[in-house]
Amino acid sequence: MKTVESFLSYKEDSKKITIVTCYDFWSAQIIDNSNVDAVLIGDSTAMVMHGYETTINADIDMMILHTAAVSKGIKQKFIISDLPFLSHLKGRNQLVESVDKIFKAGANAIKIEGAENTLNDIEYLVKSGIPVMGHLGMTPQSVHQFGGFKLQGNNENKANHIIEDAKKLQDAGCFSIVLEMIPSELSKIITQNLNIPTIGIGAGKYTSGQVLVLQDLLGVNKDFNPKFLRKYLDGYKLIKDALNDYDKDVKMKNFPSTEESY
């Protein structure tokens, strides 16, 4: 998948879309040769790669650094980068500057959270030729307003609000919307109501596609086990075992061998 049109045609053909997050060059090279459709340089990099508690610590320099690294390893996939915390509230000039830097680092599209203060900017960017992905539900940049990483849209009022926001984001020109941690019946309604694809994380099976954090699906954090996550690898154990095998081989004088020496 290389273009915004591919997202729309996947939706038209009822073909599911897969996205994974990616923050670095080496995993980008593996993803590029996989069947996964697109990559997201999520601001979750602040948590996954830099150890912060929330995504609020991702700033524009962090996003540029990771986007540049990923784009060197991605030749065949669509690249979406997150616009970090408060970027759209720093004035139009600074917003344009940030988007410019992210695109020059290699992004093909940006993702912006929420639909309260963002609609005008999204419309402006789309009209200027910038593909924008929306993000509703448990938008992590608003974690302190939500009082934690919690299910959203779980009563009628809140659900209706998200349904309306999704329509507004489509009208503003978004080519796709991430729906995070909302009930599956709600994401079903939203997906049916829209012409653009929805991408779910913790939003059930009715979305047009799914996104997962690479390190989560590889199971490298043994203590991160939300209900929505399926781990496709016990990465924590595999990596730890490999490190212990290396340590053992060196200490037992089994590595390097003659064949591995000059």
| Interface residue with ligand KIV, options 31, 136, 178, 218 (CB under 6 A) | 178
Q: Is residue 213 at the binding interface for ligand KIV, with CB under 6 A as the rule?
A: yes
d(Cα 179, Cα 223) in Å, to the nearest integer? Answer: 24
d(Cα 41, Cα 106) in Å, to the nearest integer? Answer: 11
| Interface residue with ligand KIV, options 20, 60, 82, 137 (CB under 6 A) | 82
Active site residue 180: yes
Q: Which helix (H) or strand (E) holds 235?
A: helix 235-251
Nearest CB to ligand KIV, comparing residues 119 and 179: 179
Q: Is residue 173 at the binding interface for ligand KIV, with CB under 6 A as the rule?
A: no
Q: By CB under 6 A, which span of 9-17, 40-48, 101-109, 251-259 interacts with ligand KIV?
A: 40-48
Q: Is residue 42 at the binding interface for ligand KIV, with CB under 6 A as the rule?
A: yes
Nearest CB to ligand KIV, comparing residues 73 and 84: 84
Q: Is residue 211 at the binding interface for ligand KIV, with CB under 6 A as the rule?
A: yes
Residue pointed to by tokens 């596609």: 209
Q: Is residue 43 at the binding interface for ligand KIV, with CB under 6 A as the rule?
A: yes
How far CA 136 is from CA of 6, 66, 143, 147, 261, in Å, comes to 22, 23, 12, 16, 55
Smallest distance, ligand KIV to C-beta of residue 113, A = 8
Strand-pairing partners, residue 55, are none
Q: Is residue 194 at the binding interface for ligand KIV, with CB under 6 A as the rule?
A: no
Catalytic site residue from 53, 97, 113, 180? 180
Smallest distance, ligand KIV to C-beta of residue 207, A = 12
Chain centre to alpha carbon of residue 44: 8
Q: Is residue 21 at the binding interface for ligand KIV, with CB under 6 A as the rule?
A: yes
Helix, strand, coil distribution of the chain in percent, nearest 5: 45, 15, 40
Please choose, from the candidates 134, 169, 140, the residue with its C-alpha nearest in 3D space to the C-alpha of residue 152: 140
Q: Is residue 79 at the binding interface for ligand KIV, with CB under 6 A as the rule?
A: no
Q: Is residue 165 at the binding interface for ligand KIV, with CB under 6 A as the rule?
A: no
Site size toward ligand KIV (CB under 6 A) is 12
Which residue of the chain is nearest ligand KIV when measured via CB? 42
d(Cα 202, Cα 173) in Å, to the nearest integer? Answer: 24
Locate the DSSP E strands across 124-197.
132-137, 176-180
How far CA 105 is from CA of 39, 42, 101, 238, 241, in Å, comes to 14, 14, 6, 33, 36
Catalytic residues: 180
Q: Which residues bind ligand KIV (CB under 6 A)?
A: 21, 40, 42-44, 55, 82, 178, 180, 201, 211, 213
